[in-house]
Amino acid sequence: MTVLAYWAKRTVPGLLKGACVLGLVALALVVTSVLLPRPLFVILAMSVGHGVGAAALACYVLAVILDSGQRTRAPDSKP
Amino acid sequence: MSRVEQGWLGFVALVSAAAAATILIWYLARRPTLGLRVKLFLLLGLGVLPALAAATSTVLGMEATTHREFCGSCHVMDSHFRDAVDPAAQSLAARHSRNPFFGERSCYVCHANYGMYGYPLTKLGGLGHVYEYYLGGYRQMSLQHALEVIHLREPYDNLNCRQCHTTTGSDWQRVPDHSALQVELASNRVSCASEGCHGAAHPFSKSPALGSTP
């Protein structure tokens, strides 16, 4: 197993966990702005909420790429 | 946007957010093996459904920012809000607020920028107000102090009045003061809401020294 594959194997679960937590934070901000349309909540949802949501999606995409790379390399790394 | 449309958008935003949250909590609780099915589920929970919730909530949020209640939700706007909703008030703002065309959006209709980039410029201006409220000290001000020190950043543009009062109708041109001041009105050197003309839109917020600034 190469260092990269080892790193990917260790990182993917953490990235997905982080993506889920960030996603939940973003969704909470969005829901708050819908239920309580006050200036601060609306602006937070449209700025921080969208940013955190995009970060969550980026973590997910990175995890999927790392996982796919790991699966592609796996047959070669077997003895 | 009608209240029914807003209701539907809110429903879509909340349902898609709830569905996305369910998927994310399910993943965090179960931690299933990352197969194709789980990846697709997570794509739904982190991509598709949140994007739907974000899009609908953004439309709703933008719509909310045009409502009078939104502007009146900061205490420094209390007097303006109370005057606008008072059926007996006779200020320029109150009379316009009773007009169904302005209705619940009267602050926005009169204060929005109507230039080519009017919408984003108006929203940027609104962000400036929120900044001033939370970080610029407006939040700590008493209402009386706020009325004395908070003013429009730029003189009110007559172009906003002319969105409705085109100044081309014969009734408008028949008024001697209108025809005499046509150039000054077009160049904003004289405000429609001056003392001696139509009066300040929010007269309670004017000290005698400020007089004609709307």
Interface pTM (ipTM) of the complex?
0.84
Residue A4 has pLDDT above 60, yes or no: yes
Residue-wise pLDDT tens digits, B156-203? 899 999 888 988 888 888 899 998 888 899 898 999 998 889 988 998
Which residue, B139, B20, B6, B152, is CA-closest to B67? Answer: B6
Residues A38, A54: Cα–Cα separation, whole Å? 23
**Domain ranges across chain B:** 3-64, 68-205
pLDDT of residue A1: 58
Q: Which two tokens stand for residue B64?
A: 């909310």
Residue B106 has pLDDT above 80, yes or no: yes
Residue-wise pLDDT tens digits, B117-167? 888 888 888 888 888 888 888 989 998 888 888 888 888 899 999 888 988
Contact A27, B17 (CB under 8 A): yes
Scanning A10-69 for CB atoms below 8 A from B yields 12-13, 16-17, 19-21, 23-24, 26-27, 30-31, 33-35, 37-40, 42-43, 45-46, 49-50, 53, 56-57, 60, 63-64, 67
Query: What residues have CB less than 8 Å from B168, skipping those under 6 apart?
Result: none
